[in-house]
A and B are shown apart, each in its own frame.
Chain A
């Protein structure tokens, strides 16, 4: 199936959860990511349950605490 991750088209095998997508997309520090799924920010507890379907849009928003 094809989805959009951070603006890029990505082809994946079958439906999968957000948690699985984080692994497949090799997100090194999933604890440092907030996930927007089809425009909705997910709670961290939903990562294991939320299914990604063909045509979905997912954004990984990274925590960035630096500034000084």
Chain B
């Protein structure tokens, strides 16, 4: 791949970096990242990945933009209310950078489509808003052997970890049992500070970019927690769990299934 004069100018602040250079930028341009959920986390991730020149970005989401999304889902604007989120997100990413090919999937990520979809990409960003999806993505990534960034945000807190299936701790290694449905606070009731998605979603994009570049150390085997209240980041070391039902030596999860429990909102419709 030869960068055009326009690309040399557009990506000049990348190219000047020792860890990126023209070679790194070409890696980004040939890179493919799948964003699952074009919401609080997926919005900033999508904007920065597009700006960075990640050549192919897939976005899957089955929702349309609602007014209550706009407090934090910065890829969607007021005139987009009522539009499918994937279309709204794709329009902004294409506007930022015409180099980027955006593939949209106006669909739910499920056990029937996720492994095949993931295998078309290099790296996956989990920007979903419920435990059922987060476990599903973790499991699908294991079966597809696809690295991904897990993240969650709630109230004034956020967390993330990068998983390289078979090489580093997975989400189930840390959280073996999904919480009981009755124990889960309603996301829309609990609320979330809008900027949390920006902080954590941008960190997820950082991991995707590092992975594509092959530069730096990924956030594997450590859970990064962020408390906006005390403005504190902590990196908690974790390791693969020998009793993990998915990636341990004696797995009991051998096929991909969606767990119909512990959804984010007790009423079944989460707009967090």
Measured CB to CB, the residues of A under 8 A from B are 6-7, 29, 31-32, 34, 36, 39-41, 43-44, 59, 61-68
Contacts and interface: CB of A to CB of B under 8 A. Distances in A.
B131 A65 contact: yes
B143 to A, nearest CB: 22
Given A31-B179, A39-B237, A65 B134 contact: yes
B174 A66 contact: no
B202 interface: no
Contact of A62 (B130, B151, B157): B157
A7 B227 CA distance: 14
B184 interface: yes
Contacts of B190: 66
Given A68-B41, A68-B270, A6 B234 contact: yes
Interface in B211-236: 223, 225, 234, 236
By size class, the interface of chain B is: 35 or more
A41 B173 contact: yes
A28 to B, nearest CB: 10
Nearest to B239: A39
Contacts of B179: 31-32, 63
Given A29-B183, A32-B183, A67-B128, A61 B174 contact: yes
25 contacts: A32-B185, A34-B176, A36-B174, A39-B238, A39-B239, A40-B241, A43-B243, A44-B177, A59-B236, A61-B175, A63-B131, A63-B179, A65-B130, A65-B152, A65-B184, A65-B262, A66-B40, A66-B272, A67-B128, A67-B153, A67-B197, A68-B40, A68-B42, A68-B69, A68-B270
B174 A41 contact: yes
A59 B125 CA distance: 25
Nearest to B264: A65
A32 B130 CA distance: 13
Contact of A65 (B154, B234, B238, B239): B154
A21 to B, nearest CB: 17
A32 B131 CA distance: 11
Interface in B154-175: 154, 157-159, 173-175
B185 A64 contact: no
B139 to A, nearest CB: 16
